């Protein structure tokens, strides 16, 4: 590593429990945030913002939600997209039906609706675990999709079952350009990622991990199992809800319930598996992998344009994508975040590993 922690002494427990213990890491993350907030909006093209960065941020948020539930609390779920749908449709209804409803408040209320539905579908988690719980959360997936298509009230009686984003504004600033949408999404994601990190490093996070690793011991310590699990469902669903609303209104603009199908749930699950289960950083790495890799492959594929048929090319992209997923999972089953951590540990000793 070009830098390490030597010379940086922690003289108080407060210093020892900061999020980034190494000074250079802190500087890097601030530089990255400054880059994302100040430089990117100036130079990025519309496609770069709407086609790459906003989807990356929104899906990172969803992956963060699932990582809280599956990675930290150990509860496997296949209902992610359903809770996203609840968030999106609830936010929509708050915006459309309540005159003068501010966007931020509608987002939070939409998230809370998703959290309530999350708690409801989290109730079976007291009795069933693992794959069986995943199967139970599938119920949420199908039920929510059905309700949102069946009852036209949720779509404000739109004939096609499609909801379109009303004009959005925050503190009087209209979110009508890609740059403003990008900055809004970035702000929401940064705040929620920080909150997630804070949660997992305090007693709530430790209770989640305790229940995940050894529930009998957790109970004997005095951790209320049901409450801890339901809190994980509520908070992760809140994240899903916000991600769903952003997905519907900031990213797509127009959306129907089918946008939140089982395929989306699987996509989010793959993100955390590839990125790293039980890691905040992993949520972002996984989202980057799933969102960016197809785009990179697509760009590379265009180099072969004219040499092979387009159909072959798109299949080839899928095959390489699948192959890479398998490759990364074999090399490091704990995901990209773990791989990054191991690299750091190795580089710490480099070039004298003994």
| Gyration radius of the chain's alpha carbons | 21
Helix axes 280-303 and 262-275, enclosed angle (nearest 10): 100
Contact pattern for other proteins over residues 277 through 316, marking x by CB under 8 A: -x--------------------------------------
Give the integer Cα–Cα distance in Å for 103 and 95. 7
Cis peptide before 351 (omega within 30 of 0): yes
Count the site residues for other proteins by CB under 8 A: 32
Nearer to other proteins, 178 or 241 (CB): 241
Nearer to other proteins, 110 or 205 (CB): 205
Nearer to other proteins, 1 or 179 (CB): 1
Nearer to other proteins, 42 or 216 (CB): 216
At its nearest, how many Å lie between other proteins and the CB of residue 222? 3
| Contact call for residues 243 and 62 (beta carbons, < 8 A) | yes
Burial 89-107 (b: 16+ CB within 10 A, else e): bbbbbbbeeeeebebeebb
Give the burial class of 273: count Cβ atoms within 10 A of its Cβ; 0-12 exposed, 13-18 middle, 19 or more buried.
buried
At its nearest, how many Å lie between other proteins and the CB of residue 118? 14
Nearer to other proteins, 11 or 160 (CB): 11
At its nearest, how many Å lie between other proteins and the CB of residue 127? 17
Give the integer Cα–Cα distance in Å for 143 and 163. 19
At its nearest, how many Å lie between other proteins and the CB of residue 262? 29
At its nearest, how many Å lie between other proteins and the CB of residue 231? 6
Give the integer Cα–Cα distance in Å for 271 and 285. 8
> Does 326 help bind other proteins (rule: CB under 8 A)?
no
Nearer to other proteins, 196 or 259 (CB): 196
Of the residues 4, 8, 10, 17, which one makes contact with other proteins according to CB under 8 A: 17
At its nearest, how many Å lie between other proteins and the CB of residue 205? 8
Q: Which of 61, 65, 71 is nearest to 115 (CA)?
A: 65
At its nearest, how many Å lie between other proteins and the CB of residue 236? 12
Nearer to other proteins, 220 or 307 (CB): 220
Taking the CB of residue 200, how many other CB atoms lie within 10 A of it? Answer: 20
Contact pattern for other proteins over residues 208 through 247, marking x by CB under 8 A: -xx-xxx-xxxxxxxxx------x---x------------
Contact pattern for other proteins over residues 168 through 207, marking x by CB under 8 A: ---------------------------xx-xx-xxxxxxx
At its nearest, how many Å lie between other proteins and the CB of residue 278? 7
Nearer to other proteins, 66 or 251 (CB): 66
At its nearest, how many Å lie between other proteins and the CB of residue 230? 12
Nearer to other proteins, 98 or 104 (CB): 104
Residues that bind other proteins (CB under 8 A): 12-14, 17, 195-196, 198-199, 201-207, 209-210, 212-214, 216-224, 231, 235, 278
């Amino acid at each position: 590593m070009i830098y390490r922690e030597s010379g940086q002494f922690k003289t108080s427990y407060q210093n020892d429990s900061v999020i980034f213990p190494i000074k250079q890491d802190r500087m890097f993350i601030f530089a990255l945030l400054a880059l994302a907030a100040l430089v990117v909006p100036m130079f990025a093209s519309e496609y770069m913002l709407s086609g790459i960065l906003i989807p990356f941020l929104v899906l990172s948020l969803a992956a963060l939600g699932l990582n809280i539930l599956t990675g930290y609390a150990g509860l496997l779920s296949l209902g992610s997209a359903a809770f996203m749908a609840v968030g999106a449709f609830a936010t929509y209804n708050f915006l459309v039906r309540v005159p003068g409803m501010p966007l931020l408040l509608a987002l939070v209320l939409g998230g809370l609706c998703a959290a309530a539905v999350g708690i409801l579908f989290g109730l079976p988690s007291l009795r069933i675990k693992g794959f069986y719980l995943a199967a139970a959360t599938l119920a949420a997936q199908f039920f929510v999709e059905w309700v949102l298509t069946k009852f036209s009230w949720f779509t404000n009686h739109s004939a096609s079952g499609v909801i379109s984003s009303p004009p959005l504004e925050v503190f009087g600033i209209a979110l009508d350009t890609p740059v403003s949408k990008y900055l809004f999404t970035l702000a929401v994601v940064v705040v929620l990622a920080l909150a997630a990190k804070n949660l997992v490093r305090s007693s709530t996070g430790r209770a989640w991990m305790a229940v995940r690793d050894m529930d009998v011991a957790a109970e004997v310590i005095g951790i209320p199992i049901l409450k801890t699990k339901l809190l994980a469902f509520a908070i992760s669903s809140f994240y899903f809800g916000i991600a769903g609303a952003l997905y519907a209104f900031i990213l797509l603009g127009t959306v129907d319930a089918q946008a939140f199908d089982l395929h989306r749930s699987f996509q989010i699950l793959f993100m955390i598996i590839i990125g790293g289960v039980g890691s905040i950083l992993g949520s972002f790495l996984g989202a980057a992998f799933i969102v960016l890799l197809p785009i990179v492959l697509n760009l590379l594929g265009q180099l072969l344009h004219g040499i092979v048929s387009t159909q072959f090319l798109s299949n080839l992209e899928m095959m390489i994508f699948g192959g890479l997923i398998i490759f990364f999972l074999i090399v490091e089953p704990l995901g990209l975040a773990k791989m990054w951590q191991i690299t750091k540990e190795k580089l710490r000793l480099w070039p004298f590993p003994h």
